[in-house]
Every structure is written in structure tokens, then in C-alpha cells.
Structure 1
């Protein structure tokens, strides 16, 4: 099968899966009830504040990415870097995980920086993001242990996952793969594609370990912390915009943020479906009624992704104008 067709079918499959999950979550909801909540019960000023928090997190990510790029090549212009970041977020709404490649391609073109090195810096960013997400999860377990146990027990079958990795078929496939690579190691190491990949790897590695040569390491880690703090506030300030979440507290906000973040990890455009599922399930645990939880997830997800669409499209327009020369 043609690679482009295969990729297109995979994207279509996950998007369809997300839409099916979304339909399943909202099929029993009364549209009039949802509309009434969105019209009468929402303080949209808090939603607007949430969008500002989101934009500030993207600015902080822009500065942190500049700090990673500078040691391996040169410090790119701030405006171009910010536009590339926003175009990357927009690309993720079209094809999951495409944003990381897209922003590197954009910045490589307009700032004349090695694409491979840029990809290495983005991988470093993602590793840092994963560490911060795990730290957020650990903090949430300490503060909201009952919520963690409830959601995990009801939504995740850890036994099935463990059975897969301990199955004879998985172990046999892993052993066979290692044996084949070892048997043909000389042929592999002398092949043109391997030599090409090795050259790309050296540039990629420079970007990957660029954090070691960051000039201002304290500020770099401050921005790493600030990005996730703003991510959390982006969700938590929305609590004050709804009467049914206003008094839940920061611990509940942290739980919604963490479980929602794991929903965003799913390979579905914009986390459509999985994000709603995780957020609604968490809010139900804290005593929010189903129609109210559904309205919260629908509005918060829609507004934040709407902001990404608008700023991403504006970035696409602004990029060639700003770089006319």
C-alpha cells in the first residue's frame, strides 16, 4: 500500500475513533440542557483569562526553545520562533504529532538552521514535558489519591497491559528482532541508508543534548516549570467560570488537568474524544452532574482549540509577511 495512503488511513482511523468517543459521551445529553448551561451558567471572562494563560504558556515555550537552539546553531528571532510554535500546534490539529516536525521545518527554512538539530531540541523538550507531567501526576496522587485510584481502577485495565508484555509472542518477537539485527550487523552498518542516518543522528544528538550548553540554566528550568504552571492555570481558572466547579478547589483542578493531559497523549487530533472522556470522568468523581461535566469539557476544549486555530492561521499569514526579504 502507498505510504501516503497508509498514513492517511491511520489519521482517518484515529479521528473517527475520537469522534465515536465524543458521540458516545454526548449521545444521551439533552442539547437544550447543554445550551442552557452554556448561555446562563458560564462566566466567559474566566474563559478569556484561560486563553491568555494559554498564550503566555506558548510564549514561555518559545523562549525555552530559543534557549535550546542557541548552543547548537544560533539564537533564532523570537517572533519567527513563536510563529513556528503556533503553526506546530495548528498542524497537530490536522495530523497528530505532525506539529513537532512542522515547527522545525518552518524555523529551519526561515532562520536557516539545521532541521535535524532542531528535531533534536524538540525531542529534548518532549522529554522535559514528560518529566513535568509525571511530576504533576505524583503531586496529584499525593493530593487526590482517591480520585486517582477511582479513575485508574474504572478506566484502565493494567492487567491486560502486563499480560501483553509478558506474553510468549512478545518475548519471541523481541528476541527474533535482536537476533536478526546482530546477524546482519555488518551489512546494516555498511549500507548507504545507515551511513545517512548516522550523519543525521550526529546532528540530532547535538540538538538532543543542547540543554547541557544552555547559557542560563536557572531561567531555562524556570520556563519549564512556568509552562506547566500555566497549563494547569489554563484549566483551573475555567473552574471559576462555572457555578458547579467554582468550589471544587485546586486539587480537583490538578486532577482534571493531569487526566486531561493523558487524554491529549492519545493519537487523536486535538485530543477530541479521549480528552473529553477523561475530564468528564474526573469531574463526575468530584460530584459534578453529567450534563454539567459535559458542558465544561465541551466549552473548555472548544475555546482552547479555537484559540490555537485562530493564532495558527494568523501565524501562517504573518510568517511570509514578516520575512519578505
Structure 2
């Protein structure tokens, strides 16, 4: 993939935004005390937390493999697993590049058309979005008395203030212009690259239809639930790593996983900064100081990044040194 100056600047700006959020989160905090908590953490629990995340990554590879099999592509578990880990590694450098990166890995290793892979990735990501929505809804229903005030102050009032300043006629006009631009672009692309465009469309449709062709939809859904359950366990196990959060229960981990889910959706490399701020905010709801929340979020984020750096780099090495499938 070729990057021009504009693209490079975009990623640099996104990275700087993440660093800026990280700086704002730690500004005014006692950094020495935070570092002391991190140094004295019980890393046995951190390792257990990392193992839970690794199991979630394995389940993600198994789930993705099922989608390929449903559209008659023979992608092995190891190819799917290596692609997932390399995708996470790529996301640390360039936000959202990992989705394209892991499709490229499968294309190289198993000769699956790129746009068929992209269709399967979008399909599984849609299920993750649904899971994030359902977990958010469950959090609102079962912990409304805890999160209601935060959502009203931090989300509703800010959103209402911004919406009140929006000129809706400008918004409608902008939407119409964007729609016309996309329609014209698609028309000219079809005229100039009709055969290639058709092939891309067919491959994308094949990937999008992968779930509907599954013979074991229940197993696919079980993998999806398992992924989120092990993410939840990783949050919960990490609570025991420092004294300040050791008394927290599953309800706090559930809220933290929802907040972290929205944080990781932000277009920032590895969720840096945004993850720390959001998780620390979620723990404030359970009487954990922002300083202790930052120490906890730093431990869990750093451990997961280290896991990706090690296993992602190993997967990249194995894929690059492996002969291509004929």
C-alpha cells in the first residue's frame, strides 16, 4: 500500500491526538505514586489477564475461519490466527490498517481474494458492534443507578450542547453533496473498470454472505460470546494486580469493558490515551480514584500491547518466511 504525504500526516495527527489525550489524562496526577503502583503490582494476575486476552484472540481466529469455510475457502487455523495477530500489530502503527493487513496475510498465505476477505472482516466486525451495543444496553439496564449520572453529565449535556449549535440545513446540504459524489464516483468507476468493478462487487458480496451460509451458526455465536467473555475476564483478573482495585467485582469489569470498547473504536493507534481515560472514568463510578484508575488502565493496556508486539512479530516472521500456497 502506497502512502502519500497527506495520508502520512493524517496518521501522525491521529497519533498526536492519542498522545494529547494521554497527556490530559495524566496531567495533574501524582505520576510518582502511579509509577509506584505499577512497579508493585502483582504480575501473576497480569499474566492471567493476558492469557484471557490471548484466548479471545484464538476464538476470533476460529470464528473468522468459519466464515471462510462457509464460502468454500480453505484457510487453516494458523493462517487465520497469524493474520489476526498481524492485524493487531498493524493497528498499533496505523489505526484501522490492521483489517486490510490481515486480509493481505490471508491473500498471501491461502490465495483468498482480497475483497472476499474484506467482506468476511466487515461481517464479523458487525457482530462485534452488535455485542458492544448489547453489553452497553445491559449495563444501562442492570447498573442504571451507577452510570446514569455520568451519562447525563458527560454524554447527554455535551451532545445536546453541540447539536444545538448545528445548522441542520448545512448538514442536509453536506449529506446530499456526499451522496451525489459517491454516486458519480461509482458510476464512472463502473464505466471505466466495469469488469474489475464487477469482480470486486462479486467478491465483497461473497464475503458479506458468509454468515448466511454457515451451517453452524450457533457455534459462530458461541465464539462471539466467548471473545467478549474472555475480554471481560481479562479486565476482572487485572483488578487483583493492584490493591486499589482488588475489591472490585464483575459489575465493574462489565462497565470497564463497555467503556474500553468505545475507546478502542476511536481512530487512534492502539487506543492510546483514549483507552486510559475511558477505563479510568469507568472506575470512578465505583469509587476508584482517577489516579488508581490510570495505574490500572496503564497496566492492562501495556500488557496487551506487549502481547501483540511479541506474538504479532512472531506471526509476521512466520508468514514472511513461509512459502506461498500454490
TM-score above 0.5: yes
Give the stretch that moved more between structures: 311-320 or 46-55: 311-320
Equivalence for 2:169: 168
The CA distance in 1 between the partners of 2:145 and 2:187, in whole Å, is 54
Equivalence for 1:226: 226
Q: What are the within-5 Å matches in structure 2 for residues 1-325 of structure 1?
A: 4-40=4-40, 42-156=41-155, 157-160=158-161, 162-163=163-164, 167-178=168-179, 188=188, 191-193=191-193, 196-323=196-323
The CA distance in 2 between the partners of 1:292 and 1:181, in whole Å, is 47
Deviations 1:207-228 (A, max 9, x none): 1110111122211111011111
Structure 2: state its 5+ residue gaps.
none
* 1:85–1:274 distance in 2 versus 1, CA, 3 Å: same
* 1:88–1:178 distance in 2 versus 1, CA, 3 Å: closer
CA RMSD of the aligned region, Å? Answer: 2.3
| Number of equivalent positions | 322
The CA distance in 1 between the partners of 2:64 and 2:291, in whole Å, is 40
The CA distance in 2 between the partners of 1:45 and 1:130, in whole Å, is 32
The CA distance in 1 between the partners of 2:67 and 2:133, in whole Å, is 22
Query: TM-score, normalization: structure 1?
Result: 0.92
Q: Would the aligned equivalents of 2:43 and 2:241 in 1 still touch at CA under 8 Å? A: yes
Q: CA deviation at 1:265?
A: 0.8
Deviations 1:198-247 (A, max 9, x none): 33012101111101111222111110111111111111111122222222
The CA distance in 1 between the partners of 2:75 and 2:180, in whole Å, is 44
* 1:207–1:310 distance in 2 versus 1, CA, 3 Å: same
Q: Would the aligned equivalents of 1:90 and 1:99 in 2 still touch at CA under 8 Å? A: yes
Q: Would the aligned equivalents of 1:164 and 1:170 in 2 still touch at CA under 8 Å? A: no
